[in-house]
Structures are given as structure tokens and as C-alpha cells.
Structure 1
């Protein structure tokens, strides 16, 4: 990997269309020195380009430069972080893992710039037999700690804090959305988890996929919802409750569609801009979806996303990409499909991009990324075309940088 000639102190992207995370500038120059953005000039500035002894020049003509994308709902294992960055995803928010795996992923992200960065909830707060134990098996209790009731909920949070969790995740899911009833956290226990998380200065976010579970999570005081509900169309009551609570929502439409047995990622898996970078096991994973007999629907999830967006709820982009075998997604490329689905729900292309950049960074309190501005980390994505007009241009990747280092994109074997 290299961003520029190592004899130079940095590089400048010139004459590029700039999407800074919120706003678009038709032509700009952006200067990077070391790991940081140092200058943003909202018009081509010849003086910068002439300092060839100081800056390597990257011609941005015909391209759009934007912040590196943030996938705000993932479960990275194995090669996930390396796969993610190939598609311009420079940060992943890990929503459920174990300390050993998290430690390995954090070390990888700290030492290398050819993988995405990671923030994590460590292990999510659930009950014995609750989600996601049905996806993992009978040994769940031996693998993961569980909450038995309100009395040990605070201890659970303290243990996650000791593990270095960046935020706390609750799983409030009684199985309604999937048609398979299961035990779940009580509202009382959930409220204790949220209160303890806030006492430690951490966000509390909730997995909830039904209207009733969403209302429980909101009453418990969570800061964000990491899925949108899909068991029935949105009611005025639930939209109003989410809006008044001030929470952000990560719809994860690619996973909602897969869980409903209605959506795969085949169109993106086979796209000529993506196919060569997707290893075969991940390609097969993308081209398949779950067949669970779920009573829920992608239409309900999309109607909910549209209604929440219209109400002014902050929408944040995430995929729930996990491991091969968790069908319908792959790290990196699935976020581009999610952006297209958000546009289908009524977000403008620019709003969808904000959901994967500025809104994600703001929602998860990541002050060093998500925007292109002086002092921010140089996590950057440059694409041909204009994804603020045509969202699928986000996949026309010309260059990716993490911490100022340009990624050498190598096709999968």
C-alpha cells in the first residue's frame, strides 16, 4: 500500500467533486499530510498543485471524493475487515463478538491500513435461549454470558466495560418478526442495562425487529436501534415514539430482506465493478437468502424506514454482514446495496451517503472521521461519477485511503 511517493510529506487530490459527509462542492482540492486531512479548498488551487516537491498529486477529474464509509452494523470475523476496505468501508461497528476475537480484530486494525477499523459492543446483552442463541446452538451459555434478570444486568455491563466495549448492545427480540417465539430481556432489565451503560459514558443500542420490541427498547431509554421493525407496517404510534425518543435507526434492509426470504445481493455480487474482488465463498453467500418461513416482509421494513425518515429520525447505514453462512450479505459490497435500498425508501442519494458517513460518525461519537475537513483522519473513498446523483456510482471505486495510506486493491484469487 502507498498513498504517494514516500519522499513527499503528503498528497493533494485536485479538481475533484467533493462530498464532505453532508454537502457537495463541484470542484475542490483536498490536502492530506500523514494520517490527517490538513486543507480543503473549495475550488482548484494551482498553488497546491505546483508544490510537486512537497505533495504527490492525485488527479480527481471526473471523480467524487467522500469520507470512507462506515458500516454501522456488522459482525467481522476472519477476512471481513480486509474485504470491507476493498469497497471503501474504512470503519465497521461490530455488534456482537467475544473478547478473544475482538482483540485479534483490534490488533489487526491498529497495525495495518489495508483493513477496516473496528469499534465494538463486545458481547450483547441477552437471556438464556434468547436471540441469537438459536443461530449459534446449544453451547451458547458456555460461549457467551447471559442476563438472568435485572439484578445482574448492571454487572453484565461492567464486565463489558472491562473488556473494552465501545458501546453496549441489548437484544430485545421475542421472536415475533421471525415467527419463532423466544425469551427476551424484560423492559426492567433493559432499563438497568441502559442506565449502567450511560453511567459509564457509553451508548446503548438495541436489536429489535418487531414493533412491540421497538417500543420496549425506546421506553428503556436506548440511544439507537440497530434494525428497523419488519413484522407489520409502521403505525403513527411507533413512528412518533421513535422520533420523540431521539434515537437513531440502522435499518439493515439487506439483512431484513434476506431474513424475509425476499432479497439476495446477486445484482451487486455479479456487478463487473465488484465481482473480481469478492472471494467465491462470499459471492455464493451474497447470491443466497434465508428461507425461514418468516411472517415479516422487506416491504414492511422499507415502509418503516420511509416513515421514520419522513418524520426526521436519523437514519444510519448498516448491513448486519457477519460470516459466510449468514446468508445474503458480504462485508463491504453489501453496504453499497444498502445505500441503494435507502434511496428506494425515499432518502436522496446524498442523504444515503450521509447515513454511511457523517450521521454514522456523529451517532457513534467518532469525532475523527465521517467528514472531509481539516483535522479529520484521512479515511477517504474516491469514485468515478457522482453518487450524490446516482447512488450506484458509489461502487465505481477509483481509490481508497485509510489513515492517509492508499489501498492497493487486489482481485480475489
Structure 2
């Protein structure tokens, strides 16, 4: 039985990190190279185009309520007007849509897809892509191209099927480079070429390196950013998210991983997330801090973290009051009627080291719901005696 269990874990690990196929877009002629004979289309390729970020401008020129029954409908308006910040069309037919969630500090979401030249519409490309809330098939029609002082501007119509937008793109990130809040770290390096410089190490890991240590994401606490070696280490690049709306990954808000010498893992999330997830009983715990407890182990070049206590945060419920039925989660009630906490029944993280620095390490973290490239700051192990696991806290309060 133990061998079977180990085999299952191995297969899951390989699927999540070694040969991640979750971004594969199922379209016809997937291996074909786009026709670049059109000079207008040719100018769109191999360049990151940044979307105009004027949120006070109504980009939508046409919308329908026909598809409003979709779960993601409440999110899509925000997604394309305030979160979509760029796109990259590569000449091999692959594409990237870049999103900057306005509520997630330091986070970028890059969604992969494929594109082709339209055979029916002039100066138009058709793009099939993953998005943070599902998938999209869009048509992008070029209306005009202007160039001035080495900066090109492309005026387009973007047809999303149930809505149409007027969008202007620039091949300069100057608007975002003027960020004064420090929430756009290393913005120029969210293009595909950056990931080519960050391959995962295949070297065997040692448990001794991680035992009795803690590792914090930049968005875990405000003071973390001041402890990093440079602002670029704040950036959290998400290359896959299953469903930002209904299955919101906890790491999008930040976390700290702590690895006990006995194989116990402690996953702590930002205080404002705990205030939301545990609002019904946090005040009853005194000085004790609630963390998601689990187990950790080394498997080759990977750290495997398993927990059944990770808070299940759904933006659909928190922001839009939608009722979500997710069989992968369970509600742990406490004695006060209607109060408790929702957690994932089983959650696996695969942490792979990319490279080490003086203060921490760049890693790729994957789960069934997400994949992130980010920097983890090495810190001292927290006092385990001052923490309660989620299930332990529920048991004590009952």
C-alpha cells in the first residue's frame, strides 16, 4: 500500500511540475505558424504590448446580458478593464495575456495561449487563451498604428464574444514604470524571455537545509519587502491559475512556509486573510495564532508540502456574495450556529528551487490550482508553541 501511495505522489508531482500541460489550448492547427505576410500583423509580433490603464475610460462599446448566468460574468468586467495590462504574440504562434490583479500586491498573472491570423477579417488576429477565470476566444482588429519617438501605439477593437472593447496598446511600459506605490516590481521582466533565464534546478535537495527554517513570500507581511536584497524580489509571477474567482489560490495573497524538524509544516497567511477566514472565532483564541498545519518531505529536487487545513478563500463569495459549491473543500463548524471555517480537504504544494541567494531563494511553487515563480526570504522558525492548527482550534472551541 505504501508503494502504491508513493507512486501516486510521484505521478502527481510530475504532472504538476515536470510536464505541466494545464496551459495547453485545444485549437485546430495547433502546430501551424501564423501567416506573417501582412505587414500590419507582422508589427504586432515578438513585442510586449501594454494596454492603456485609464480605468476612468469606458472601454466597452458593446455588451450583452445573454451570458450573465456564467459564474465568471461578475468578474470579467473588472478582469478586462482594470486587470488586463498587456499581451505578447510570438511568431511561433504562442501568446501571453498579462494580468495585474488590483487586489493582489506584487502579483502578475501570465496566461498562455495560441493565436492565428483571421481569414475573414482584415488586419485581425484570433487568440485562444487561458485567463485567470477560465478561457477566452478573442478577435483583435487593428484600427490604426502610430509611431512617435520610438514608441508605437496600436488602436484596436477587441471582440470577446459577449462584449466588445476599444483598446489602445503601446510597446512601451512607461505608464507602469511611473508606479510610485512600489506595487509593480520588475515590471519589464514579466515577458516570456525572463522565464527562460530561470530554469528549475535538478539537484537533489537535503532536508537539513530546510529543517527548522521559515520562508516568506514578499506579500506575506509589509515589512518583508524591506528585508529583501532588491525590489525585483517582490515580484510574484503566476503562470497558471485554475480559477481566480471560485477556487482562489491562497498564495495569491502571500504566505510563509515553516518546516519543523519532525516533518511538520506550518503555513501562515497574511493577517487580513486570517481575519476573513477565521473572523468567527479569532478573538476567542487569545495570543494563539492559527496556522495551517501539515507535513513536509524532500522528494529528489522537490519539497512536498501536504495539508488538510489550508483556508479556502473564494473571491466569488467575498466580493460578489456568490454561493460556491466546491467538493474539494469542507466546512469546519464551531458551536456557535453558522460559524466556522472552510478549508481544502487535501492540498499539495510542490516547491522547486531555481537558485539561491544570500537571503533566500527563487522557487517555482505548484499545486493543482496554480503555478508561481517567486522569491522566498529565509527567516527564523516561528515559536511553534504559540500556534494552533486550524482543526485543533476548531476542536478546542467545540
Which bin holds the TM-score, normalised by the shorter protein? under 0.3
Q: Which has the larger radius of gyration?
A: 2
TM-score by length of 2: 0.28
- Which structure has the highest helix share of the two? 1
